[in-house]
Amino acid sequence: MVTKKFHEVYRAGRRRLRRLVFLPNHDGHMLSLRAVLDQLPARAERYAGMQTVDCRRIIGSVDRANDFAVGFLPIRRSMEIRWTSIRDLYLSSSLNESLQLFELGGYYFVQDGNHRVSAARTHTNGYLDAVVQQIESPVQLPPNLCYSSLGMYGAKVAFARRTTLFRYIDEKRFGQGSAETWQRLERQVYHVSRLKLQHLLGYHPDEEEIAHRWDEEIFTPLMHIIRRQALPTLYPNKTDLDILCDILEHRETLSCDASVTEAASRYLARNTQLNPLHVGAHLTRRIWRRLMATPEQERRRFFRLSRILVFRPDARIPEGQCDFYRFLMRQLFVTHFGYIRQKLQRKPLLDQLVCDWHDSLFSPALRLYEREDLTKPFPVVYMRWMKFWQRRILKETKKLGYIRVIDLEDSFKEFLACNPNIKA
């Protein structure tokens, strides 16, 4: 092991300090526990006992943060004698005293032992024994916690205090968002969605019903679209939650019954001034995910977004290839959505959409198939049949995809007559 001299480490610390000072909300110093606790309205502590701690998880200090740059690099010349002495004792394994640490959300802050941590971080990045006092955090901390991300953390803590959303939806599913995003999210859930539900249901829903319906009909489908289509590659400075709020706000400018899928598509079409490199990365990632997807992954995706086993626990969806589940997604959320919206003269709720699709179309079609002795598997027959029906029988209503009176049996007979090779 190469023993680093104090002046080498000191110069590295000063260089890091000069580089980081240009970052927003960052002065280059190591993170102070006090700055983090200022984001918490109240805190609860408990004794966590003796632990062996990875030095890389120790990111700050209780009261000596201004003596070190990020990474526990010393930045004061007056520290040379003590730092060198501690370094020599550490390298000779003569340090037997345990550190005193505070732990917050998986990060550690030094109460006593800053020089020992500095010597360990600059030489081995090993493990140290410590007596740990744990501080509870009401929400998950941002990855790579630093001064510039404290605003995000504080806004999320304030959101958790003002709302009950994390009581019904796992907080980890939201990830991180900018400070403004949490205020925008609160407005979308507790103002926009609340008013729409009141109009659809005819009564004032409580916060639990608002949260569950918002999760089922907006949050889960839209976050899946964002991640599946790799939208963060188009907007590298935004998180998934930032993009979700952007799409929901753009949806407000559309017709009152616009679906989240339509809103996402129009949001992308509107934002045409994009970096060509970001567009290329986005398309590459989308194509790669589509090529590498397995039938089982597409099947799970269909079940997760449609929640069909929640609304119809006895539903039978035969196994098929990737294109079958993608076809079902388009049929359910595009074609059948348009039909139900015209029928109800408003946007359907997710349970109304899925149950009507299953009861009036998919399940009867499966029963008709099982009555015949056909050589082709159901997924192949179903896709060809639906495309034939739309092209030949419902040509005059091609934009809607369906008519108000659906005669499945007659359409199936005509399909079989035009495709004799499907029969046994």
Q: Are residues 70 and 117 in the same domain?
A: yes
Nearest to 69 by CA among 33, 108, 103, 118: 118
Q: Can you tell me the mean pLDDT for 141-149?
A: 82
Confidence of residue 182 (pLDDT cuts 50, 70, 90): very high
Residue 94 structural domain: 6-151
Specify the range with the lowest mean pLDDT, choosing from 143-147, 159-163, 213-217. Answer: 143-147
Q: What Rg, from alpha-carbon coordinates, does the chain have?
A: 29
Q: Are residues 119 and 246 in the same domain?
A: no
- 297 in a domain, yes or no? no
Q: 406 versus 65: which is more confidently predicted?
A: 65
Summarize pLDDT for 343-360 with one digit per residue, the tens. Answer: 887 778 788 889 999 998
Looking at every residue in the chain, the average pLDDT score rounds to 83
Q: Which of 94, 128, 151 is the last residue of a domain?
A: 151
Q: Are residues 145 and 173 in the same domain?
A: no
Q: Across-strand partners of 59?
A: none
Q: Are residues 184 and 231 in the same domain?
A: yes
Give the number of C-alpha atoms closer than 13 A to the C-alpha of residue 42, restricted to the C-beta side: 2
Q: Which of 151, 173, 208 is the last residue of a domain?
A: 151
Confidence of residue 101 (pLDDT cuts 50, 70, 90): very high
- 299 in a domain, yes or no? no
Q: Are residues 288 and 325 in the same domain?
A: no
Q: Are residues 343 and 413 in the same domain?
A: yes
- 42 in a domain, yes or no? yes
Q: Are residues 12 and 137 in the same domain?
A: yes
Summarize pLDDT for 370-424 with one digit per residue, the tens. Answer: 888 888 899 999 999 888 877 765 565 555 555 545 578 888 888 888 888 776 5
> What is the model's pLDDT at position 214?
92
> What is the model's pLDDT at position 188?
92
Residue percentage of the chain with pLDDT more than 90: 22
> What is the model's pLDDT at position 262?
84
Return all residues near 10 (Cβ < 8 A) that are at least 6 apart: 73, 74, 75, 77, 80
> What is the model's pLDDT at position 404?
45
- 302 in a domain, yes or no? no
Specify the range with the lowest mean pLDDT, choosing from 31-45, 191-205, 236-250, 385-399. Answer: 385-399
Q: Are residues 19 and 98 in the same domain?
A: yes
**pTM score > 0.75 for this model?**
no
Confidence of residue 215 (pLDDT cuts 50, 70, 90): very high
Q: Are residues 175 and 263 in the same domain?
A: yes
For the chain, the domain total comes to 3
Confidence of residue 9 (pLDDT cuts 50, 70, 90): confident
Specify the range with the lowest mean pLDDT, choosing from 4-18, 164-178, 186-200. Answer: 4-18
Residue that has been written with the tokens 């490199």 in this structure: 277
Give the phi and the psi of residue 109 in degrees, each rounded to 5: -130, 140
Q: Which of 292, 321, 349 is the last residue of a domain?
A: 292
Q: Are residues 178 and 134 in the same domain?
A: no
| CA-to-CA separations, 319 to 68, 300, 301, 362, 377, in angstroms, rounded | 59, 11, 13, 14, 9
Q: Are residues 104 and 135 in the same domain?
A: yes
Query: What is the C-alpha to C-alpha distance for residues 375 and 322, in angstroms, rounded to an integer?
Result: 20
Q: Can you tell me the mean pLDDT for 93-101?
A: 84
Q: 289 versus 174: which is more confidently predicted?
A: 174
Q: Are residues 288 and 177 in the same domain?
A: yes
Angle at 115 between CA 113 and CA 121, to 5 degrees: 105
- 185 in a domain, yes or no? yes
Summarize pLDDT for 220-266 with one digit per residue, the tens. Answer: 989 888 887 777 777 777 888 999 999 999 888 887 677 888 888 88
Whether residue 110 contacts residue 99, with contact meaning beta carbons closer than 8 Å, is answered with yes
Query: What is the C-alpha to C-alpha distance for residues 316 and 325, in angstroms, rounded to an integer?
Result: 13
Q: Across-strand partners of 129?
A: 52
Whether residue 93 contacts residue 5, with contact meaning beta carbons closer than 8 Å, is answered with no
Token couple for 175: 């990830």
